[in-house]
C-alpha cells in the first residue's frame, strides 16, 4: 500500500491534492490545524476507497512534528504544502507577527517535517518522492512581499539542495511553483477581508487547487528514471509576478 503524506490539507492546494491522490491501495495521511475540516476530508478520501489517517498538529512546532510524524516510519510520498502569506505592506510597515508566521510555517515547518520524513525514507533504502509547494515569488520578488518572497526563495533553494542531498538515496525531489491560484490564500493574507481578497482575482481566470493537484499527480506518475525538479504553472492571463492581463 502506498502511503502519501500531505501537510496543510484543510484547504486549497493541500485539500485538492489529497483528494486527487486518494485511491484504493493508498493510505492518505493528512495534516492540519482545523480538526473539523480534517474530519470532513477524511470522509471524502475514504469514499474514494483509500485509507486515511488524520494528524491534527501545527508544523510550526518542532515538538509536535516529532510527536506526530516520528511514529509513522517510512512514507512513500511527502507533499510539503503547508504555507501562507500574511500581510501586504512595505517593509517599514510590516507586522513582525506576520513575518514570524510566514517564516515559521513556510520555511521552518517545511524543514521540521522534511527532516523526519526524509530520514525515514533514507533509512528504509527504498527511495521515495518529496514535492514542495513553492511559488513564483521564489524567484520574482515583488513590492510589499519582502518576507513572503524571502520565504519562498528559501523553499526554492531548499528544494534544489534537497535534491542533491537525497540523490544517492534514490529519493526524487521536485518543486511546484504556481502563479495566481484562487484558494483561501488572499483571504488569509488580508486577515479575513473577503472583499479585498476577491479583488485580487477580479478580471482573471486564475488557477485552482485542482489544477495544481493535477500537476502533482502527473509528477508522481512518471517512471522511476524521470524526475521533475521544478515546474512553474501560470494562468493564461499571467506571465509573471508583474504581468497580469485583467479583463
User: Along the 247 residues of the chain, how does pLDDT read in single tens digits?
Assistant: 999 999 999 999 999 999 999 999 999 999 999 999 999 999 999 999 999 999 999 999 999 999 999 999 999 999 999 999 999 999 999 999 999 999 999 999 999 999 999 999 999 999 999 999 999 999 999 999 999 999 999 999 999 999 999 999 999 999 999 999 988 787 888 888 888 878 889 999 999 999 999 999 999 999 999 999 999 999 999 999 999 999 9
Active-site residue, from 142, 148, 242, 243: 148
Straight-line distance from the first to the last Cα atom of the chain, in angstroms, rounded to the nearest whole number: 47
Residue 243 a catalytic site member: no
| Cα separation, 12 vs 75, whole angstroms | 23
- Output the pLDDT for position 42: 98
181: which residues sit within 8 A by CB, 6+ positions away?
12, 13, 206, 207, 208, 209, 211, 212
- Output the pLDDT for position 45: 98
191: which residues sit within 8 A by CB, 6+ positions away?
86, 87
The set of cell numbers assigned to 71 is 511514529
Cα–Cα distances in Å, from 76 out to 125, 148, 229? 11, 29, 18
- Output the pLDDT for position 148: 97
Give the torsion through C-alpha atoms of 79, 87, 238, 205, to 10 deg. 80
Return the closest-CA partner of residue 77 out of 202, 209, 222: 222
- Output the pLDDT for position 184: 79
Amino acid at each position: 500500500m502506498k502511503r502519501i503524506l500531505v501537510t496543510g490539507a484543510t484547504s486549497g492546494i493541500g485539500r485538492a491534492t489529497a483528494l486527487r491522490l486518494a485511491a484504493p491501495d493508498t493510505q492518505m495521511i493528512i495534516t492540519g490545524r482545523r480538526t473539523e475540516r480534517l474530519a470532513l476530508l477524511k470522509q471524502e478520501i475514504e469514499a474514494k476507497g483509500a485509507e486515511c489517517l488524520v494528524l491534527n498538529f501545527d508544523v510550526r512546532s518542532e515538538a509536535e512534528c516529532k510527536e506526530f510524524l516520528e511514529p509513522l516510519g517510512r512514507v512513500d510520498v511527502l507533499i510539503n504544502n503547508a504555507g501562507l502569506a500574511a500581510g501586504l505592506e512595505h517593509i517599514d510597515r510590516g507586522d513582525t507577527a506576520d513575518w514570524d508566521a510566514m517564516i515559521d510555517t513556510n520555511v521552518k515547518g517545511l524543514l521540521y517535517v522534511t527532516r523526519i520524513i526524509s530520514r525515514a525514507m533514507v533509512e528504509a533504502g527504498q527511495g521515495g518522492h518529496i514535492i514542495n509547494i513553492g511559488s513564483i515569488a521564489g524567484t520574482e520578488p515583488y513590492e510589499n512581499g519582502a518576507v513572503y518572497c524571502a520565504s519562498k526563495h528559501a523553499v526554492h533553494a531548499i528544494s534544489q539542495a534537497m535534491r542533491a542531498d537525497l540523490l544517492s538515496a534514490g529519493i526524487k525531489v521536485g518543486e511546484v511553483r504556481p502563479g495566481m491560484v484562487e484558494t483561501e490564500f488572499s483571504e488569509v493574507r488580508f486577515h479575513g477581508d473577503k472583499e479585498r481578497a476577491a479583488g485580487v482575482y477580479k478580471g482573471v481566470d486564475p488557477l485552482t487547487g485542482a489544477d495544481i493537484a493535477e500537476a502533482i499527480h502527473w509528477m508522481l506518475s512518471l517512471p522511476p528514471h524521470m524526475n521533475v525538479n521544478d515546474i512553474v504553472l501560470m494562468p493564461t492571463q499571467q506571465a509573471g509576478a508583474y504581468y497580469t492581463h485583467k479583463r
